[in-house]
Structure 1
Amino acid sequence: MKRFLNMTIATPEGVIFEGEVENAEFPGTLGAFTLLPLHAALISSLTGGQIVYVKDGKPEKVAIKGGFVEVKQDIVSVCVEQ
């Protein structure tokens, strides 16, 4: 059985993505990192760059200026500025 991350990406203007992803890469302020299903709980600040996530086997990109990400039990909440 394949596991997924349930990810929501929100900006001050509203939600720009919500759905299941296979993995996601983030531009953390201390360096880039990748989240996979069953990842340990995490809160991190984000710097300018791109969030890259894989949905249905295809990579998608979202350009950001900065923000925060929280992971808890395969739920990924992302708040960013674009």
Structure 2
Amino acid sequence: MSTFNAQILTPNGSLFEGEVSGVKLPGSKGSFEVKANHAAIVSTLEEGNVLVRKSGGDVTYTISGGFVEVNNNKLTLLAESVSES
């Protein structure tokens, strides 16, 4: 299974960083999932759930909105606020 690095940042610091196989996001124009070797993208995010797929099991976070950037197998999510569901 191919993996890539994902990082979730808040104004209070880093909430998550690690290797994942996918991240499902609540995009402004609808939800979408990022997997390894995804095309470069920058997107705004709406309030909703972020599903992080990692080897130890899936984790769901709830965000109040933010931005995501994907480039060179690295996903960086900047969230206004995050809580683990």
Find the counterpart in structure 2 of residue 45 from structure 1: 44
Find the counterpart in structure 2 of residue 15 from structure 1: 14
Find the counterpart in structure 2 of residue 66 from structure 1: 65
Find the counterpart in structure 1 of residue 74 from structure 2: 75
Q: After TM superposition, give the deviation of residue 63 of structure 1 in Å.
A: 0.7
Find the counterpart in structure 1 of residue 23 from structure 2: 24
Q: Structure 1: which 5+ runs fail to align?
A: none
- Give the % identical residues: 37
Aligned CA-pair RMSD: 0.9
TM-score by structure 2 length?
A: 0.91
Could you list the per-position Cα deviations for residues 20-78 of structure 1 after superposition, in whole angstroms to 9, with x for gaps in the alignment? Answer: 00100000011000001010000000000011011115110111000000000110011
Runs of 4+ aligned residues of structure 1 deviating over 2 Å after TM superposition are none
* Counterpart Cα distance in 2 of 1:50 and 1:26: 7
Q: After TM superposition, give the deviation of residue 3 of structure 1 in Å.
A: 2.0
* Counterpart Cα distance in 2 of 1:78 and 1:8: 6
* Counterpart Cα distance in 1 of 2:24 and 2:4: 12
